[in-house]
């Protein structure tokens, strides 16, 4: 019964996507071994924008993560279960990190929420910086906005597009992490780039 409702959700998301008027384009097919990062509140929008491109997505081992993984797979993603929080073995962080390292080294592209799954808002998971440092993969920030949309009063300010919304997607500059780079400085660099994208989106709204 649960799968029936989840399949209805996937169908509804695909139908919603067909009504959205996307402003902005990104050619995922040219990318090899990149780390796409975005805010947890933008998850639904980026989920639609990047669908059916074989991007690897990280989904937690929680019950919510199980639902998310099911939906992601049916939207054309490849799912790795685990956590982006380094050192949290009970959440599968080590296993997920090893899988992600392998994917990136083999040229696969990975999408990770930079402040998810629990925040705080606009924080940067150290696991993202670790992956970039160990593989040489560039970190590519994404941000989006819908008009009109519903923004939930949650920690992540989760955005839900309404049918026929105008959708704007912005892609930031690539950020590299070299051996010896300070994690704190890279966190600040990623955050500043995301803040720049959000300011541009505010002008759009």
Give me the pLDDT at residue 117, please.
Answer: 84
Instruction: Match 């996307």 to its residue by tokens.
Output: 22
DSSP code, position 84: S
3-class state of residue 205 by DSSP: coil
Smallest Cα–Cα separation from 125: which of 139, 137, 136? 139
Give me the pLDDT at residue 16, please.
Answer: 97
Cis bond before residue 170 (omega within 30° of 0): no
138 CB-contact burial (10 Å; exposed 0-12 / middle 13-18 / buried 19+): middle
In the chain (205 residues long), the average pLDDT of successive 10-residue segments reads 89 97 91 97 96 94 86 97 61 83 97 91 94 97 95 96 96 97 97 97 77
Give me the pLDDT at residue 87, please.
Answer: 47
SS (H, E, C) 145-190: EEEEEEECCCCCCCEEEEEEEEEEEEECCCECCCCCCCHHHHHHHH
């Amino acid at each position: 019964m649960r799968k029936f409702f989840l399949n209805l959700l996937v169908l509804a998301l695909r139908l919603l996507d067909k009504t959205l008027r996307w402003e902005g384009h990104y050619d995922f097919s040219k990318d090899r071994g990149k780390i796409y990062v975005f805010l947890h509140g933008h998850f639904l929008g980026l989920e639609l924008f990047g669908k059916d491109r074989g991007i690897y997505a990280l989904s937690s081992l929680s019950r919510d993560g199980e639902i998310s993984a099911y939906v992601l797979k049916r939207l054309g993603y490849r799912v790795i279960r685990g956590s982006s929080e380094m050192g949290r073995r009970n959440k599968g962080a080590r296993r997920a990190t090893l899988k992600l390292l392998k994917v990136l080294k083999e040229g696969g592209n990975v999408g990770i929420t930079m402040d998810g799954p629990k925040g705080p808002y606009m924080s940067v998971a150290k696991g993202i910086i670790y992956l970039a440092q160990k593989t040489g993969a560039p970190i590519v920030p994404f941000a989006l906005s819908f008009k009109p949309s519903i923004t939930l009063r949650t920690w992540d300010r989760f955005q839900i597009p309404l049918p026929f919304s105008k959708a704007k997607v912005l892609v930031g500059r690539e950020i590299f992490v070299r051996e010896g780079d300070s994690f704190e400085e890279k966190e600040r660099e990623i955050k500043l780039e995301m803040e720049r994208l959000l300011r541009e989106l505010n002008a759009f709204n």
